[in-house]
Each structure stands twice: as C-alpha cells, then as structure tokens.
C-alpha cells in the first residue's frame, strides 16, 4: 500500500481518533491531517494517560477535538455517527497503575471500548474500527517470536482488560458485522510520549533518565530482549488497517526490526544522548512476579496481508526521539 494509495483513501475521509491527544493518537492525527483527512479527535484527558494539547499544537487549526469520555454513550453516539474510520486508541496503558487501581483500569479499558462499540453498532454500523491492542494479552511467551496463535494469558489486570476490550471488538464483528481490526502493539516509542512518570513503559523513562543525566536502573542483568516499534511505523500500520478490506475481522501483531536486550538498549540511549548512566540492581520481588522475560513478536501476518513492516531502526528512532525531547521536553514532564 503506497503513500499514493493512502493519500487517495484518506483525502477527505471522515475519521475519528479516540485517545487523539495521546502519544500514538496524536502522531496518527498528524499523518491523517497531512493526508488530507477530515479529522476528529476525542480524548478524555484522564490524568496520567498521556493526553496533551501540545501534541497537536502544530495541526490544531486543521482538525477538531472533542474533550469527552468514551464511557459517555450519548456523546459517543454523536461523535461516531458520520465517521468512516474509527481509530480506537483511548485507554489506560500502565501495568503498574492497573494493579494499584484495578477498577479504574476496568472502566477505561473495558467500559470505554464497549460503549464505543455500542455507539458504532447503533449509529454507524458501516464504520471501520481499528483497535490499539497490545502484546500484553499474550503474557509470558511460551515460544519466541510470538505469533497471533500464541495463547492469551495476561499477567496483569491491564492485560486482562485490554484482552476483553479486543474481544468485544470481535464479538461485534461476528454478531453485527462491524468491520474491526486489532493491532497488537509491542513497545512503541517516539515523540509525544509522556515522560512525567515511570508507569507507562520502560522506554520513555530510560530516555528521560538519560536526558536528565541520571541513572537508568535495570533489574537483574538486563538480558531480557524486547522488540520496539517506532511510532511512525505504528501509525503506518493503523493507516493500512483502516484503508484495507483485507484487515476486517483480523488481529495483527506489530513488531520491531531486531529485538534488543534492555541493557544494550539502555547503553545505546546513554550513548546517543551523551548523558546519563546505567546501573543494575537486584529484581524487586513484586516486579519480578509480573515480569514476562524476553518478548518479541512475529509480524509475518500483517506483512503478508497489508505489506506492513517496521522501517525505522532503533538508533535512528532513538535519535529522532531524543532530538524531539531536547527541543520540547518541558511539555512532557
């Protein structure tokens, strides 16, 4: 699917992005604006979830924003009614917060999507819906790399709720014919991600520590390997899924070019930032219990179906990310 094809599909296309002020949602919004889409964002600006007006400052006059909660059925009915593609990225993504406050995670990641899907079914059953799923639904890998057939046994409440959120999409697909796709994201990184706390994944926190000239703390020897997706690549996958008939009813893994050990990643960030350091400490017990060890995904399915593959390598992606936060970091802390 070429840039030309995407531009033809999205030019003038009425799209909705939930979580549109957040990290991936706002990067997607930038691309959609560039492609000439009729872009409506919805975001509840929930505390600590990454919604940030600065994320869309450059395109603010070329799209519309509704500050609203997916759980508000009446508002969602209005917002989805004329949209042709719904990118459903709203949610709470912190594993840690989901264990501290499981009922809030349930609200954000189960009630939110279910209310949105009900709105689509009742008011816009022809919409295409692309959901931001997560590799967390797999839990501890029983084999690597992990493909879409791998058992789903999440190890934290966030993973269980995101799995339920994904299942709802497919229930609505089978029962009502809604054209849904789930992209199971791995560790996505890049500009416009919240750096304020360390509860939204290790990567933005590593970057913040390095930029601050502080220590990056690794648990154990840092030998567990992970795959990373640069946010532009993740956005490209959303665009392809929204524009393709072949994506309806399908789950696709995203992935990265090469898995990297956390210790090598930490060292690379310190090297590229020119500041910070890396320190190893023993595993805290409560962290070890929900850690999943090495994880990297097999993205063969989406490569074959939609021609997607990651293009930005880790060094390049990190350089762009560090440059972004050097310029605009004060908006993300």
Residues that bind a second copy (CB under 8 A): 99, 102-103, 106, 110-111, 114-115, 118, 149, 151-157, 159-161, 163-164, 167-168, 170-171, 174-175, 286, 289-290
Residue labelled with tokens 């990190």: 318
> From the CB of residue 95, how many other CB atoms can be counted at a distance below 10 Å?
22
Residues 6 or more apart from 224 whose CB is under 8 A from it? 261, 262, 291, 293, 294, 295
Burial degree of 253 (CB within 10 A; 0-12, 13-18, 19+): buried
Q: Which is nearer to a second copy, 71 or 192 (CB)?
A: 71
Cβ–Cβ < 8 Å for 200, 19: no
Q: Which is nearer to a second copy, 175 or 330 (CB)?
A: 175
Q: Which is nearer to a second copy, 55 or 94 (CB)?
A: 94
Q: At what angle do helices 231-243 and 3-10 cross, to 10 degrees?
A: 60
Residue labelled with tokens 């795959």: 227
Q: Which is nearer to a second copy, 4 or 175 (CB)?
A: 175
Q: Is 308 helix (H, G, I), strand (E, B) or coil?
A: coil
CB of 136 to a second copy, least distance (A): 11
CB of 289 to a second copy, least distance (A): 5
Residues 6 or more apart from 245 whose CB is under 8 A from it? none
Q: Which is nearer to a second copy, 194 or 297 (CB)?
A: 297
Q: Which is nearer to a second copy, 111 or 123 (CB)?
A: 111
CB of 160 to a second copy, least distance (A): 4
Rounded distance between C-alpha atoms, residue 84 and residue 68, angstroms: 19
CA 40 from centroid of its chain's CA atoms: 18
CB of 219 to a second copy, least distance (A): 16
Residue labelled with tokens 């310190």: 270
Q: Which is nearer to a second copy, 10 or 168 (CB)?
A: 168
Q: What are the distances in angstroms from CA 15 to CA 1, 80, 189, 243?
A: 19, 9, 23, 11
Q: Which is nearer to a second copy, 157 or 273 (CB)?
A: 157
Rounded distance between C-alpha atoms, residue 220 and residue 70, angstroms: 39
Q: Is 177 helix (H, G, I), strand (E, B) or coil?
A: coil
CB of 157 to a second copy, least distance (A): 6
CB of 168 to a second copy, least distance (A): 6
CB of 114 to a second copy, least distance (A): 5
CB of 286 to a second copy, least distance (A): 8
Burial degree of 99 (CB within 10 A; 0-12, 13-18, 19+): middle
């Amino acid at each position: 699917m070429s840039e030309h094809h995407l531009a033809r599909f999205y030019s003038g296309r009425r799209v909705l992005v939930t979580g549109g002020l957040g990290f991936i949602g706002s990067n997607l919004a930038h691309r959609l604006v560039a492609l000439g889409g009729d872009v409506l964002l919805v975001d509840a600006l929930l505390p600590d979830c990454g919604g940030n007006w600065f994320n869309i400052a450059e395109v603010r006059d070329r799209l519309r924003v509704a500050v609203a909660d997916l759980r508000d059925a009446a508002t969602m009915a209005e917002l989805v009614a004329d949209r042709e593609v719904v990118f459903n990225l709203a949610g709470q993504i912190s594993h840690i917060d989901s264990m501290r406050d499981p009922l809030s995670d349930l609200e954000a990641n189960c009630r939110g999507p279910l209310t949105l899907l009900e709105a689509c079914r009742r008011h816009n059953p022809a919409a295409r819906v692309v959901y931001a799923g997560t590799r967390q639904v797999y839990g501890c890998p029983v084999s690597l790399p992990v493909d879409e057939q791998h058992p789903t046994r999440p190890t934290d409440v966030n993973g269980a709720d995101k799995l339920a959120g994904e299942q709802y999409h497919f229930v609505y697909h089978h029962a009502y014919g809604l054209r849904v796709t789930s992209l199971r994201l791995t560790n996505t990184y890049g500009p416009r991600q919240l750096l304020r706390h360390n509860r939204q994944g290790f990567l933005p926190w590593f970057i913040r520590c390095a930029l601050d000239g502080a220590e990056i703390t690794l648990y154990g020897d840092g030998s567990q390997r992970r795959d990373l997706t640069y946010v532009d690549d993740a956005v490209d996958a959303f665009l392809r899924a929204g524009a393709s008939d072949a994506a309806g009813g399908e789950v696709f893994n995203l992935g990265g070019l090469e898995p990297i050990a956390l210790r090598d990643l930490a060292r690379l960030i310190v090297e590229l930032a020119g500041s910070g350091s890396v320190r190893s400490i023993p595993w805290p017990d409560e962290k070890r219990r929900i850690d999943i060890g090495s994880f990297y995904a097999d993205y063969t399915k989406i490569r074959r179906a939609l021609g997607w593959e990651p293009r930005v390598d880790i060094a390049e992606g990190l350089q762009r990310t560090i440059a972004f936060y050097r310029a605009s970091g004060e908006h993300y802390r």
